[in-house]
């Protein structure tokens, strides 16, 4: 029934289903491109709930989530925001990169994320009780460094937390094959490369290579690109701008995929 491909890394599917059945909100942590968004989409399909995705940024106001009055020819009318829609009609409200939103914005989630499950709307004076199928999911990437950005502990402690990481080699290989239909040998090499680059992580490059990038590389290879070139363009160049790091990564790729002259 579900069309979105998602291969479970461990127990996250069971956990999500359990949380959904008990109306518990979920927080997902993980580096970029490890499958957070894909997971939510797949779960939405599996549970038959619509997913309302909001990508957070630092200008996001509470009104952007809840809704606001708009004007048409008859005067003003109230327009629900994505959060309110999900609360009213049931569905998964997914706030991506919640850490980017200002802390005073995320406070509106508090009453929804605990036992009360209500959304008070100050502007209309309405208090909406959440639909039984409403579920709140937030995600963020713990890797970024900025003192002023972070989640309030009081917000954090309202969620069941799921920590994502890049999938295990066997799983990642399968994902790459499934997504790009590349052959197993190349997928294995890509996974090996990724495993090596990920060892560098925070000390030499800002963030390690994501599963998403590996899939891009695999897709280029399937399209007929030389594997070395494909890796250079999809993996190496997007990871660093520093010459010495690039040089070593280049070397690494050439060790796995011999450069064709």
Q: Is residue 78 classed as helix, strand or coil in its secondary structure?
A: strand
Q: Does 206 bind another protein (CB under 8 A)?
A: yes
Subset of residues 61 to 120 that bind another protein, contact rule: CB under 8 A: 63, 68-71, 75-78, 103
Of 59, 61, 80, whose CA–CA distance to 69 is shortest? 80
Give me the 129-168 binding string for another protein, x by CB under 8 A, dash otherwise: ---------------xxxxx-x-x----------------
Pick out residues in 173-202 that bind another protein (CB under 8 A).
Answer: 192, 196-197, 199-202
Partnered with residue 70 across adjacent β-strands are 77
Smallest distance from another protein to CB 147, Å:
5
Of the candidates 142, 116, 113, the residue with the CA atom closest to the CA atom of residue 127 = 116
Please list, residue by residue across 50-75, b when 16 or more beta carbons sit within 10 angstroms of its beta carbon and e when fewer do: ebbebebeeebebbbbbbeeeeeeee
* Nearer to another protein among residue 63 and residue 222 (C-beta): 63
Candidate list 72, 223, 224, 251; residue touching another protein; CB under 8 A: 251
If binding is defined by CB under 8 A, does position 5 make contact with another protein? no
For another protein, the binding residue among 126, 226, 241, 247 (CB under 8 A) is 247
User: Taking a C-beta distance cutoff of 8 angstroms, is the pair 150, 98 a contact?
Assistant: no
> How many residues in the shown chain lie near another protein by CB under 8 A?
41
Residue with smaller CB distance to another protein, 37 or 201: 201
Of 45, 80, 114, 204, the one binding another protein (CB under 8 A) is 204
Q: Is the dihedral of CA 97, 102, 107, 108 positive or negative?
A: negative
238 binds another protein per the rule CB under 8 A? no
Residue 178 vs residues 4, 6, 173, 183: alpha-carbon distances, Å: 12, 10, 9, 10
Binding residues for another protein (CB under 8 A): 63, 68-71, 75-78, 103, 123, 144-148, 150, 152, 192, 196-197, 199-206, 244-245, 247-249, 251-252, 254-258
């Amino acid at each position: 029934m579900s069309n979105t491909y998602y291969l479970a890394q461990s127990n996250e599917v069971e956990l999500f289903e359990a949380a959904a059945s008990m109306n518990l909100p979920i927080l997902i942590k993980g580096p970029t491109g490890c499958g957070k968004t894909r997971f939510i989409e797949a779960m939405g399909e599996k549970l038959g709930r619509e997913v309302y995705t909001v990508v957070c940024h630092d200008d996001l106001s509470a009104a952007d989530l809840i809704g606001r009055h708009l004007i048409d020819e008859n005067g003003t009318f109230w327009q629900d925001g994505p959060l309110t829609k999900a609360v009213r009609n049931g569905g998964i409200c997914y706030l991506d990169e919640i850490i980017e939103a200002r802390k005073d914005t995320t406070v509106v989630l508090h009453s929804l994320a605990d036992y009360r499950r209500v959304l008070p709307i100050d502007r209309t004076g309405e208090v909406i009780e959440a639909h039984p199928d409403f579920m709140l999911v937030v995600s963020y990437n713990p890797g970024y460094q900025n003192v002023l950005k972070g989640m309030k502990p009081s917000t954090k402690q309202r969620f069941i937390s799921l920590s994502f990481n890049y999938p295990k080699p066997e799983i990642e290989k399968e994902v790459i094959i499934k997504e790009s239909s590349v052959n197993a040998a190349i997928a294995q090499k890509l996974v090996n490369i990724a495993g090596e680059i990920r060892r560098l992580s925070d000390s030499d490059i800002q963030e390690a290579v994501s599963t998403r990038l590996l899939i891009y590389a695999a897709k280029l290879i399937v399209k007929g690109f030389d594997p070395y070139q494909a890796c250079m363009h999809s993996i190496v160049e997007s990871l660093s701008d520093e010459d010495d790091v690039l040089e070593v990564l280049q070397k690494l790729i050439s060790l796995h995929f011999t450069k064709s002259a």
